[in-house]
Amino acid sequence: MVFNTGAALLDAIVLAVVSTEEEGTYGYKITQDVRSVLEVSESTLYPVLRRLQKEAYLEVYDREYGGRNRRYYKVTGVGREKLLEYCSQWDEYSSKISKIFAEVER
């Protein structure tokens, strides 16, 4: 994709991906889900996850899987509120951009 993804948009996408699983989801799956829409590396996503946890938008817990612990991330109530704010702002932003692009002759 030729468009840059800013930190706020990446935060919003990660919160949206994590919010789809009621019990939370683990880092590798988050990475794969985000990569399905954006080209992004694990080294970019894990600091995002840590930042979202630090801001209390995500809670983290470990669960055993195949004899190893797997780190899970779950959206908090505050994180859900932030995600809804992001969604509202995205709707407004994307509709303005779409309107401008719709006026372009092709």
By mean pLDDT, which of 2-6, 61-65, 102-106 is the weakest? 2-6
For the chain, the domain total comes to 1
Residue 83 has which token pair? 């995600």
In a domain, 2, yes or no: no
pLDDT tens profile 8-53: 999 999 999 999 998 999 999 999 999 999 988 888 999 999 999 9
Please report, for the domain that includes residue 56, its CATH number.
Answer: 1.10.10.10
Residue 30 has which token pair? 């988050």
In a domain, 53, yes or no: yes
Give the range of the structural domain holding residue 55, as residue numbers without chain letter: 7-102
Proportion of the chain in helix, strand, coil states, percent, rounded to 5: 60, 15, 25
In a domain, 1, yes or no: no
DSSP H helices in 20-76: 27-35, 42-54
